[in-house]
Structure 1
Amino acid sequence: MILDACGTATGMGFVAVARVTDDRWMTCASRDNVNFGLKPGDELDVASTICCEVRACRSIISIPDVDDSEIYRNHPTPRRYGFKSYISVPIIRSDDSIWGTLCALDSEPHEIGPQAEQLFTIFARIIARELDRQDELAAGRQEIEEGHASLQTERDTARLREEFIAIVGHDLRNPIAAVTSGLRMIEERDLLPERRAMLVLEMQRALTRASQIITNLMDFARGRLGAGIEMNAPAPVDLAPVFRDVIGEIEQVAGQPVYSSIDLPRALVADPQRLGQLLSNLLGNAVTHGAPSQPITVDIAERDGELVASVTNQGAPIPPDVQASLFQPFSRNESKRKSLQGLGLGLYIASQIALAHGGRLHVSSSEEAGTTFTLRMPAKPA
Structure 2
Amino acid sequence: MNALIEKDIQTIQSIEAVPHIMKMLSDTTGLRFICVARVTDEKWTTCAVLDGVNFDLHPGDELDISTTFCIQVKRSTQPIVIQHASKDDHYRKSEIPIMYGFESYFSFPIYTKDGHFFGTLCGLDPLPAKLETIEIQQQIKSFAELISRQIEADEKLISAESDLFDEKVAAKLRDQYIAILGHDLRTPLSALTMGVDFLKDHVTDATSQKILARMDNSATRMKRLISDVMDLTRGKMGNGMELNVKTVNNLQDMLTHTVDELSGLHPQRAIQTNIDVKGTLSCDPERIAQLLSNLLINAIVHGDPQQAIEVTATIENGLFSLSVSNGGEPIRPAVIDKLFQPFWRNESDKQTGGLGLGLFIASQITSAHDGSLTVSSDEHRTVFAFQATLGLNAIES
- For normalisation by structure 2, the TM-score amounts to 0.48
Normalising by structure 1, we get a TM-score of: 0.50
